[in-house]
Chains A and B, each alone.
Chain A
Amino acid sequence: MTPFLRRPRAARAVLSATAVCVLALAGCSTDPTDPDGSAGAPAASGADTTLRYAVAGSPATASDDPHGGLGNESDVLRFALVYDVLTVHGDDGGAEPRLATAWEPNETMDLWTFTLREDAEFTDGEPVRAGDVLHSLRRIGAKAAENYGRLADFDLENSRVVDEHTVELATRVPMANAPVALASITFVVPEGTEDFTGEVPGSGPYRVEESAADTTVLVRNDGWWGGTPDPGRIEIRALADPQTRVDALLSGAVDVAGSVAPTAVASAEEKDMRVVRRSGVTTYPFIMRTDTAPFDDPRVREAFRLAADREELVDTVFLGYGEVANDLPTPHDPSTPTDLPQREHDVETARELLAEAGHADGLTVTLHTTTSYPGMDTAATLYARQLEEIGVTAEVSVEPADDYWTTVYAQKPFYTGYYGGISFADLVRVGLLSESPTNETAYRSEEFDRGFEEAMATSDEARRDELLADIQRELWEDGGYVVWGTGDGIDLAAPHVHDLPDGPGFQRMFIDRVRLEG
């Protein structure tokens, strides 16, 4: 027999065994009559409610540094619970207060004053000061190579501490959406912290009690300013394989399985599990480098867009848990124009365009993809078949997930991308400006750059969104994207878990409002 066949089964057997042990433990430590728990008592006291969350993550790429790449969801979940952030994403796509209670820009929108709350303190008893915030932001800025220049537009050297609870942040260009750009990722650590191998005090709702390669145990931080979260304990279980997370939930080993494949929904619903759909979460765009033949010809790009049978792609790749998209990379962003006609599946026009571009006899391209996220390979395989109809032979190349994002992404002429709920402005900064660090479509348009700059200098929100919509129209017309649909993010939870966040981005990691009942 083949060894790789045995692996999933063995994993499942181990899992079931783990499930039994964990269930037994959970049985001892769950006492619903005392949801608040006893203050500061260790979790083993038997008076706490525990939430066990299976989240994507692999011990091999785990990191303790909250200012680095944030590639592991399990790490982000831990950071979101242990550290405070300046702002979080609101339901409307704007920013909501968290550690920062208020913010105010100057006239030119390139200097922002953030006021911090005064009752936040780290687990070592020290208050959270403006210096801690600036130190943390500067660390994020310094690690630009790891985090794709997340704060590249902030001029952190020229930012300064005004007083204990006020910080002034300078931006390199006018930046009207600065509070959103800072949302959910600005994890604040004590000033001077550079070493994260040991225990680092945080000011978030939980603190780390126990940390191991694949399981982290957090206990409630009773000194947190934001009230008393319901779960007294949160166990974060990092499981790389989505199906393993589902199995862990169905066998009772965990209470929440984060980011699962749509194939898992049917079996979970049979067992009365809660299904949380976060719309517009997953996008697998096909990305064409506009500086490389044959994609340097706009007619070829248009033909490739017309070749996509979007309904078939959404129904197959996301099993219908998603929506058709219109070649705009962030269809759920508040700035996305709604007046553009939906680009339809039009084989005939596509063939004509290819012929005009000199490819009447057909065209052979390689479409790169990987298995990093469920369905990426399926999407590419199906789209390659759809391209056949317009006379394009697309050879699918499934690359190892390990180095796809360094050797294929933003390098090969034609490849499958992934967005997990990024905002339009963020995407523009990291991937669409002429000088972007990872210009994924090799897009160089002065008009686009200028339009974005102007939008970011506009304080009126409606006007700003209109300017951003304009540059998206240009992208719709001329960009290097085939954005055929968005898939729902799907989390599964046991029936007693309520109020899991359902926003598209990192806000799903802020689970301090979750209630356990029944």
Chain B
Amino acid sequence: MATAVDRDQSHTTEDLYGVRWGRLKPVKTEHYTYYESFYLDGVEYRVNDAVYLHARDGPPYIAQIAKLRQNIVNRKRTMLVRWFFRPCELPPRLPDVDYSENSKEIFMAAGSQHTKSFQNPGCTIKKCTILCTANETWNRMPSAEEIAAADHVFDRAFDAVKLRFNRLDPSKESCGEFLRSCFIKEKLKVERSDRSGQEVKGNREFRKDVIGRGTNSGSQSNMVNVVGPRNQFSGLQADQTSRRVSSEDPTAVSFTERKAFQRSEGWKRSSGEMLDDQRPTNATRVDLKRSSKDAGHDIPTDSQKRRRLDSFRGTVQEKNAHVAGGYREIEKARLNSQTRDMSVLPRDRPSKIQLIDGNKFSERKHEGTEPYTSLSNRSNKTRINQVGGAREAAIPSRLVREGVPPPSTGKNRLADQHKSSRILETNLQSQPVRHHHSSAERARSSSLEHRRSEGAVREGPRDERHGAYPDKAPSLKNVRDTTWDMRQAKDVQMHLKHQHPKSTTTSSRTQYGPQVRGDRTYTEDALRPSAKVEKSRDNAEDEASRKLKPGPYLEDLFERPDRTSGRSFKASENHRSSGAVVSAPVLERAFSTGANGELYVPSKKIFKFSWDEKKIVEEAVSNGRALLLKNLDPYLNSVELEAILENVLDITCDVRILPPRCITCYKSAEAIVIVKKADIAEDVLRTLTENILTISENERPVLASRFAKPKESIENFHGFFNLEKFGWKINASVEQKNAVSTSHCAQSNTVEYEMGLHWRLIQDRDATAWKTLEEEHAKDLQKLKGKYLKLLR
């Protein structure tokens, strides 16, 4: 519920756009002062409130207010928000995501340090409810009713750079402060806000100054600049009633937990001192810009002036229209006139949207609000159903134990898989888990039984370890397809041309298209769903089939290892014939082990995001975290190798196959593996030297060593002469110079040609040597094989 306007705040002036700023926080940094809240049409928006930022037609952005601050120098007021992704904003076909329109689940944005560069002057803002349902000790697990009442729930963070899901981790620098301040210490926060009431007096003088400036400047325009993630919405989920997250059950956090967090590192920082320059990651700015005459830093353009006039006219109507609902509606006619090229822009391109410039509300209130209510009613029903489905997700896992496939089909089946696997995942965590619902306990017990029954079949210590890394999702990690980068963008452009043959001009693209580099990854991914959707719009059948079948590899991920295992290993065949091997359960997450701990990685067309930072390698090599794996199958991909290592050795690592040592001899490959700590590297090295890891069917043993390759440098290149080095200055024209330096075939009567012949000789000799060596090696191996064959006989 919206809190009532405090009496003591009434002296705070309202600016032209109806924004009234609340109390100042006692905290103050060198450049900024902080506010606790602001009022808009009698609704208080506090820090940590979840809000919808409605930027255009379609579902709004979901964000949570992180900071409200004002620059001391230029008086610019800024709202920093943390974004949440809707499923439709994620890259398509992630196996664990429910892409349906009514899905309540959202994902916290993480990973990127870059803020968005494009700005939306003006947007509507409205409260909503977000609940954290992460099954962690720090989290107060909301009840089922709360979840049903909430607009959105989240329990994972999506890394927009690495394109993978992260666990919510309050100890992490990036999102820790946010999580702690929003969801953990709710009681503390309330206490603090009470306390801060007394401290307001100290800041009153300062605020008077602010107010005085505000009132003196006669013509001020507040521009709400929303810098937001790209909108790619397909469904509306908006409630008319506003709720506050922070007001929910503040007593839920127990004292001991709070103590634990106080002890934990970095708690002090989160407990009220807003360190300013550390913006929350992925936080984006909503600027409430004030352009006053005396400040003179913002010269209003003609269009802004016009808008201001409009806004004066519309104030009364706005006020009336806004008593009931929290939504500020876009005046569509003006929107169209101002952003004509926006409306023709492709929906997936980040665009500069001018929505409301403050206080012109909709005169056509009914048109705007009715669809929301009807849709929200509908989605509420379905949401509750979905929550129910999540609770009963223990059933599939039990069925799997008995070897019966889950009875649901199509989308529901996939959703069930998704939910149930996540429940299993959370239950497997080593941390103590609170049980809020009995079905989760059932799921846990059943999954444990299931695990035990499997463990009886498997040999070695691997089986227990296999279950011990719940937060690893190899299938999720490797979502990135590197070819997407350039080609995909082209595809989408092509497609859009097809859709808007006239309107998608280059000018609009140049205006809105270019992104800063940090955002590029994200935006390109956001391009993908739109491309898919728009493609499938052409034929309804395609769309229907896509809904049923979210990705070609999803089925493959849960594929059972039948033929390959039977063929390659006799031992496993025996097991299978005796019926001891449990059929690979659906919940086994992309990998299934047979007897002897063999492991089958169905390789996918999924590739990791580019891994080209040489700093990573340099640092890892100097810290002793880098390993070199030799004698690999040349057909192996980095992703496959990473998945193999993660499953066989139970490590998290970065893997790259290195370029071939010699392009004429490519019978074996090598790879660099970077693990997280030096002692893990030692462990891995020991494991791999004591045991032997074999990959692929021809059972070639993998050799491991520390990574100690000589660095490539220009000095290693021989045979490229710079004539000026010899003191020879070419007194020739530019053309002649270029003729020497550009590529050319050497003429047979030149010195160059003779020298080149020597090099060619070396090349040929080298190729022959490699060939001979290869043959010799093959003979050696053949001999060895023969020896053991004889022994077997």
A binds B: no
